[in-house]
Amino acid sequence: MKSRDPSGKIYYGFCYGKTYREAKEKAEQSKVSIVSGIPITQNEKITLSFYCAQWISANRRRWKESTYARYCTILERYIQPQLGNYLPQNITLSVLGSFSETLYTEFHLSPKTIRDILATLHSILKFFSCEKPELPSCTEFIYPKEQKKEARVLTIEEENRLIHYLLSDIDTCKFGVLLALLTGIRIGELCALKWENVSLAEHTVRIVATMQRIKNESADESCKTKIIVGSPKSDHSSRVIPLSELACKLCNKMLPRESNAYILTGTSAYMEPRILQYRFEKYCAACALDGVHFHTLRHTFATRCVEAGFDVKSLSEILGHATATITLERYVHSTMEQKVNNMKKLAVIGL
pLDDT at 124 (0 to 100): 95
Distance CA 14, CA 128 (A): 14
For the stretch 303-313, pLDDT in tens is: 888 888 888 88
Distance CA 143, CA 109 (A): 13
CB atoms within 10 A of CB 91: 20
CB 87 within 8 A of CB 47: yes
pLDDT at 246 (0 to 100): 92
Q: Which run of H or E residues covers position 166?
A: helix 156-167
pLDDT at 335 (0 to 100): 58
What would the mean pLDDT of 89-104 be, rounded to a whole number?
Answer: 92
Name the more confident of 207 and 335: 207
pLDDT at 105 (0 to 100): 93
For the stretch 172-229, pLDDT in tens is: 999 999 999 999 999 999 999 999 999 999 999 999 999 999 888 765 566 788 899 9
CA contacts within 13 A on the Cβ side of 166: 24
Task: Calculate the average pLDDT of the chain.
Answer: 87
pLDDT at 221 (0 to 100): 60
- Return the DSSP state at 319: H
CB 318 within 8 A of CB 288: no
> Which residues have C-beta within 8 Å of that of residue 202, sequence separation ≥ 6?
none
CB 183 within 8 A of CB 205: yes
Burial 316-347 (b: 16+ CB within 10 A, else e): bebbbbeebeebeeebbbeeeeeeeeeeeeee
CB 47 within 8 A of CB 86: yes
Domains defined along the chain, listed by start:
12-43 (no CATH), 48-131 (1.10.150.130), 156-342 (1.10.443.10)
Helix, strand or coil, per DSSP, at residue 78 = helix
For the stretch 21-73, pLDDT in tens is: 888 887 887 787 777 766 555 555 789 999 999 999 999 988 888 899 999 99
Composition of the chain by helix, strand, coil, percent to 5: 55, 10, 40
Q: Which run of H or E residues covers position 326?
A: helix 324-330
For the stretch 117-173, pLDDT in tens is: 999 999 999 999 988 887 888 878 888 887 777 788 999 999 999 999 999 999 999
pLDDT at 210 (0 to 100): 94
What would the mean pLDDT of 86-93 be, rounded to a whole number?
Answer: 91
Whole-model pTM: value is: 0.73
Q: What does the chain come to in residues? A: 351
At 6, is the pLDDT very low, low, confident or very high (cuts 50, 70, 90)? confident
Give helix 172-183 / helix 245-254 axis angle, nearest 10°. 160
pLDDT higher than threshold 80 for residue 1: no
